[in-house]
A and B are shown apart, each in its own frame.
Chain A
Amino acid sequence: GDSVTQMEGPVTLSEEAFLTINCTYTATGYPSLFWYVQYPGEGLQLLLKATKADDKGSNKGFEATYRKETTSFHLEKGSVQVSDSAVYFCALSDPVTRNQFYFGTGTSLTVIP
């Protein structure tokens, strides 16, 4: 069945460091891929998405490219800020069945000044 595996945390970085959070997926069809973010005390928010192979999603300086050949959707940011401290979730959705969104276990990021 469909599933998402993401890099375990927690991750601690200094401000302005480069961030990569790995995400790989298993899917029977051609899923849409998402990164959600959960800031402390807040609900899940969509960060970015990509709906087909080779698409790049981007938002707030974060980027992720849908790589069908490696079944990956790694999240990157060139220079993190303290305000990026949050939990990041990789997710996929099968556009045919749409019966659910499959989430990874989340990666906690803490950025220190």
Chain B
Amino acid sequence: GAGVSQTPSNKVTEKGKYVELRCDPISGHTALYWYRQSLGQGPEFLIYFQGTGAADDSGLPNDRFFAVRPEGSVSTLKIQRTERGDSAVYLCASSSTDRRTEAFFGQGTRLTVV
């Protein structure tokens, strides 16, 4: 596709449930980022992939959060035992190998934990 695609656009889940959020980056982009944005805040870094490997996962808040990118393209962010504090917009971005280019963002997945 032309841009970064994220599905679902909205997800409502009950506290304690497991959720998966999907990101389909721009074709050919090797770098992929997950961010979380709470209301009135800037995007908060979660994890960065270069190809298939997680090059930096220092932003994951705890071990309930995990992300994969098995074939170096689509990525899935997985959240176990969801808590109400996990409610936020989860953003995915991708970038090319040119180290000075910008990141292109998807529309985000709005996660609400009730």
Partners in one complex: yes
Given the complex of chains A and B, what is the CA–CA distance between A32 and B102 in angstroms? Answer: 9
Neighbouring A residues of B106 by C-beta, 8 Å: 43
Q: Which residues of B pack against A, CB within 8 Å? A: 31, 33, 35, 40-45, 48, 50, 55-56, 58-59, 91, 93, 95, 99-100, 102-108
Task: Write out the residue numbers on chain A whose beta carbons fall within 8 Å of the beta carbon of B42.
Answer: 89, 103-106
With A43-B91, A43-B107, A106-B41 already in contact, the answer to whether A51 and B100 are too (CB < 8 A) is: yes
Contacts of A36 in B (CB 8 A): 105
The answer on a CB contact under 8 Å between B59 and A100 is: yes
| A25 in the interface (beta carbon within 8 A) | no
Q: Say yes or no: B56 contacts A100, CB within 8 Å.
A: yes
Distance (whole angstroms) from the CB of A30 to the closest CB of chain B: 10
Assembled-state Cα–Cα distance A43/B4 (Å): 10
Q: Are A99 and B43 in contact (CB under 8 A)?
A: no
In the complex, what's the smallest C-beta–C-beta distance from A40 to chain B, in angstroms?
13
Contact A44 B55, beta carbon cutoff 8 Å = no
Cβ contacts A to B, 22 pairs, < 8 Å: A43-B91, A43-B105, A43-B106, A44-B91, A44-B93, A49-B102, A51-B100, A89-B42, A89-B43, A95-B99, A95-B100, A96-B99, A98-B99, A99-B56, A99-B58, A100-B48, A101-B33, A101-B43, A101-B103, A102-B45, A103-B35, A105-B42
Q: How far is the CA of A106 from the CA of B44 in the complex (A)?
A: 12
Inter-chain CA distance A101–B43, complex, in Å, is 9
Q: Quick check: B48 and A99 within 8 Å, CB to CB?
A: yes
Please give, as numbers and ranges, the residues of chain B lying within 8 Å of A69 by CB-CB distance. Answer: none
- Contact call A101/B45, Cβ cutoff below 8 A: yes
A103 & B107 in contact (Cβ 8 Å cutoff): no
* CB of B55, distance to nearest CB on chain A (Å): 6
Residues of B close to A99: CB separation below 8 A: 48, 55-56, 58
**Cα distance A100–B45 in the bound complex, in angstroms:** 7
Is A46 interfacial (CB 8 A cutoff)? yes
Q: In the docked arrangement, what's the CA distance between A45 and B101, Å?
A: 13
Given contacts A98-B31, A99-B56, A101-B33, contact A46 B104 (CB under 8 A): yes
Q: Is A34 an interface residue (CB 8 A)?
A: yes
